[in-house]
Every structure is written in structure tokens, then in C-alpha cells.
Amino acid sequence: MPPSASFVAGCVERLAGVDARVCPADALPWTDDTFDLVLPQLVLNFLPGVHAGVEEMLRVTSPGGTLCACTWHYARDMQMLRTFWAAALELDPRVPRERGTTRWCSAEELEALWLEHGLAEVRTAATCVRSMRSSGLVSGTAATTTWGVPREPSRSPPRSAPCGACVRP
């Protein structure tokens, strides 16, 4: 889910007919079995309650649908973040280590998360995102993509979002 109203507004503006909403990941406003494909992209490692978020994503995934997540692989090729953390540690050796602050980034962690939530046909793949800067420098960023198929449709009773931001029908 986009974390801010400005992200949602930009999505709706650029993609006609898209139903984009700001809401907590653990209280999605769509009915059960709404989507054939659910794509939490660069989101899982920012969720305070990742398990509740995954359960909600499964709830809105239709039978035979696919849940496919992608997260940055912070331990590989994240030069920008490694530079940031190196500078932070140089300024203050007490700052938390990068490796200890990120979770759900490796293929093993994501596969285990999917299996824990009952997904079948789980697959993971390394992804490399390349970008060209105006200076002509090409940078590569590693990501991990994991997908799976729910074994059976999730059925949870409708309830309102904890913060009242959105209500499931």
C-alpha cells in the first residue's frame, strides 16, 4: 500500500480507473478474493506487523491468484545505503548497524515468510534494478522477488481498520 496521500494521488492521476487508497496494510478496504495478483512492492520490511499485513494480502488474493513481493536486498549492491550507514557510523559509532535494522530482504527470509503463511509453489529470484544517472553513471540495486500461490482462499470476517482510516465492506 502506498504510505502517503501524495503517492495515492499521483497514482490515481497517472493511471485512469485505478482504485488506490491510503490504509493500513493490516486492514485493506477490499472484499475477500478481489485480486488475481497482489503486489506489495518495497513494502514488507517497513510494516510494523508484517504477519498481519501478509494475512490481509492473502485475504484479498483470489483463489489461484498470486502474491508477489519485492524488497531491496540491503546486504547486496545497495551502495547508496552502505555509504549512508558508513557515514552515520563514522559520525556516531552507537547508531544501529544496517544489517540489524532490516528484515524480510533475503530470498531465505521471504521464502520462509511465504511458507509460514501457507503459500504453495513459492519461488524467489534475485532482481537487479539498473538506473542511468544524468552523469552517465549506471548504478545497480539488488532486490529479491518472491511469489507464491495461496493454498486455499483466506476467509476472515469483515472488521473496521484499527485507526478507522478505512473499513472493509
Name the stretches of the chain with pLDDT < 50: 1-2, 137-139, 153-169
Question: Quick one: CA torsion of 29, 30, 33, 34, rounded to 10 degrees?
Answer: -150
pLDDT of res. 107: 82
pLDDT of res. 146: 67
Query: How far apart are alpha carbons 117 and 36 in whole angstroms?
Result: 18
User: CATH number of the domain at 24-150, please?
Assistant: 3.40.50.150
Collapsing DSSP to helix, strand or coil, 2 comes out as coil
pLDDT of res. 99: 54
pLDDT of res. 165: 28
Query: How far apart are alpha carbons 52 and 32 in whole angstroms?
Result: 15
